[in-house]
Chain A
Amino acid sequence: MIDEIIGLYNYWVVIFLMMTGFYVVIASTNLVKKIIGLNIFQTSVFILYITMGKVADGTAPILEEGITSYSNPLPHVLILTAIVVGVATTAVGLALVVRIKEAYDTIEEDEIHDQDDSL
């Protein structure tokens, strides 16, 4: 029991963050908050990848004499790419919010809905 909580601590954090982010995306009506929620959601996946790179008793993946066990650096590299993708998505999303603010003069979803009913 205690093993499942402490031993899998990182994974619990991942799930907590993932669900928090997901909830914010779905529940908030403010478009900027939606983007923030999306960011939290993506961050949880970054932590998932970084966690899986950890090798028990492994050290930082730098070639050094006398050390045989290294953490796996590949997930870190992968997630660097995903972070870049996340930043780009946030940028595009926020740019869209700016345009929406110009067009509707609001970033609240229900107020936009009132102005255009076909959404």
Chain B
Amino acid sequence: MDNLAVIQVLLPLLSAPLCLLFNKARLAWMIAVVVSWAALFVSLSLLVMVNDNGPIIYEQGGWPAPIGIVYHVDILTAFVLLIVTSIAAVVMPYAGKSVEKEIPVSKQPAFFSALLLCMAGLLGIVSTGDAFNVFVFLEISSLATYALLSQGKDRRSLTSTFQYLIMGTIGGTFILIGIGLIYMKTGTLNMADLADRLPAVFDSRTVHASFAFLTVGICLKLALFPLHLWLPNAYTYAPSVVTIFVAATSTKVAVYMLLRFSFTVFGVDLVFAKLPLTEVLLPLAIVGILVGSLAAIKQSNIKRMLAYSSVAQIGYMILGISFVSASGLTGGILHLFNHAIIKAALFMALGAVAYQIGSTHIDALKGLAKKMPWTFAGFAIGGLSIIGVPLTAGFVSKWYLVLAAIEKEWWIVVAVLLVGSLLAVIYIWRVVEVAYFQTADDESDIQVKEAPLQLLIPLWILVIANIYFGINTSLTVESASSAATMLLGANS
């Protein structure tokens, strides 16, 4: 059953070329749906297995650890795998209808194949236990993401993708340099082996430089302020499906990489005691939360508003990491999951709006809630969740973050967390007010109807998930907190 660790990655990787070979739009979509559901099933069983029996190690080609490449699935891995696959499982069915108006039929097979490749890359980054393998999968997912983001109808999607390609490649190359430098110093690429050998050489300048390169490279990928400049444009002009999938998964996987490298590979004692990682991450996270939320308030394109809100939410995750405490990490890891379902729900509601009226500009939303009640109800609940109202998923992760801040008696951080939520109230309220309480400029314009069911059902699955995980937190909190304990205990 250990094979599941590799099957997880192989499923989308091998079915991506199938989409191109058959070259039929409908068939490609069906392959994507089936694969994403199968992957979800695999990752659920991995989570159960890891919970019961501890980490799973799969040796590629039967070569044992330091020589061969291994896939290492522990509780954190399984949890992030679950995030990626569950988002994919909801987005793929949604994609069938949504791409109709955004991607020409002739390009749809290639589109789905790129979507599957992106998913394979993300799953690969998460499951592998080999540092160089991380880079390879990172580039697989990045290249697929560039291709996907550039498919927007607006020509600005091309220029913003180009910008991301330049920044993303610099980030990827920084990660490559970082991995090279630690290989130079230790002679191994296996993560567990690296963790064993690094403490002995940790005072060397090479290792410090390597960690700096890795951190900066990963932070470029996860769009931590001030390295977030590629994100708003890239999200705004991409097709709805791509925005949903990329916003919900790829930054989360980058956060996972940061956790993996700083906690498992380099180790808590080394990174946080000898190097000032907290001192670097904490201010950036705080500024990110404030600047992202403030910038979100100013946007007139709602898709762009949510993109800036993503920058702020990434700040929350990094904040959780910079606490280096059990409750802080639990909050951060929890927010990976919760933000994924929140942002996917919000972008899906927006995708449904774009499908019906072809615009996501705030003026176009006037009075739309009457015509599309289900879509906007979904948006409103997603909005409550991103604000962090009790009984929604967003509340749970923010609660843990506030607890962690109180534990450390960092009162400014507590204040920032609350201000961040208040700012979220403002930008979500702008949309709610326009959609619910204003009337359209000319009623007779076009008869806008509610979005089709193929879009509404995935949206509402996520909306209900937002409420469910706000009330019943056993699955998410237990996984997140045992992942946090594992990370903190790994090297102490």
Contact = CB atoms under 8 A, between A and B. Distances in A.
Interface of A: 22, 25, 31, 34, 38, 41-42, 45, 48-49, 52, 75, 78, 81-82, 85, 88-89, 92-93, 96-97, 99-100, 103-104, 112, 116, 118-119
Interface string B128-141: 00001001100100
Nearest to A113: B159
A96 B156 contact: no
Contacts of B150: 96, 99
A52 B180 contact: yes
A99 B143 contact: no
A97 B162 contact: yes
B160 A103 contact: no
Contacts of B139: 85, 88-89
Given A89-B169, A118-B233, A96 B180 contact: no
Contacts of A41: 170, 173
Nearest to B160: A119
Contacts of A81: 132, 136
B43 interface: no
B162 A116 contact: no
A93 B173 contact: no
B233 A119 contact: yes
A93 B173 CA distance: 15
Contacts of B156: 116, 118-119
A52 B166 CA distance: 27
Interface of B: 132, 135-136, 139, 143, 146-147, 150, 155-156, 158-163, 165-166, 169-170, 172-173, 176-177, 180, 183-184, 233
A92 B165 contact: yes
Given A92-B146, A100-B158, 9 more contacts: A34-B166, A41-B173, A52-B180, A85-B136, A92-B143, A93-B162, A99-B150, A103-B158, A116-B155
Chain B contact residues: over half helix, strand or loop, or mixed?
A: helix
A88 B140 CA distance: 10
Contacts of A92: 143, 146-147, 165
Contact of A96 (B161, B172, B173, B177): B161
Nearest to A77: B132
Contacts of A22: 170
A74 to B, nearest CB: 8
Nearest to A101: B158
Contacts of A104: 155, 159
A88 B139 CA distance: 9
Nearest to B142: A89
Closest 9 CB pairs of A and B: A103-B155, A85-B139, A52-B184, A100-B158, A96-B162, A99-B158, A92-B146, A89-B169, A49-B180
22 contacts: A31-B162, A38-B169, A42-B173, A48-B177, A52-B180, A52-B183, A75-B180, A75-B183, A81-B132, A85-B135, A92-B147, A96-B150, A96-B158, A96-B161, A96-B165, A100-B155, A100-B158, A100-B159, A104-B155, A116-B159, A118-B156, A119-B160
Given A96-B146, A119-B156, A25 B166 contact: yes
B132 A25 contact: no
